[in-house]
Amino acid sequence: MHRRQLLQSLLAGSAAAALGLPLPASAFEVTKSDAAWKKQLPPAVYEVLRHAATEPAGSSPLLNEHRKGVFVCAGCGLGLYASETKFESGTGWPSFYRPLANAVITRADHTFGMERTEVLCRRCGGHLGHVFDDGPKPTGLRYCMNGLALKFKVA
């Protein structure tokens, strides 16, 4: 793909994400068929990343992860959150106040009759969780992530 085509594709994906529309597969660097994702990922991880499922609150071992390192996408390995931005939100899901630069994209989510902002991995489009405006300083944001969507890499 030529640079111009890639830029147009990425811009189309960003516009679609902003409008809450399905993103074209070409909007992501890592693209695989649904069958390939299903083969690569454990069943529960597949359901979260590829079908926007939510793990049960309090079930993630990453809730108790406090070492220095980086939380990465369980689908493609892209670094998403520095451990320094993790905080205890009391919600039952790993929470962060800021993603790494160029790590995530967001789109409107109107499922379950409410308006939320979905967070996706910028590289593979995997569903990570949602972001809310009730987090701590300095951003005031709470990126409430499914632990199944993440892996932890020690620094």
Catalytic residues: 144
Question: Considering Cα of 132, then 46, then 94, then 59, what sign does the dihedral take?
Answer: positive
**Structure token digits, residue 26:** 């070409």
Among 37, 18, 49, residue whose Cα is nearest residue 121: 49
Q: Which amino acid is at 25?
A: A
Q: How far is Cα 15 from Cα 148, in angstroms, rounded to an integer? A: 27
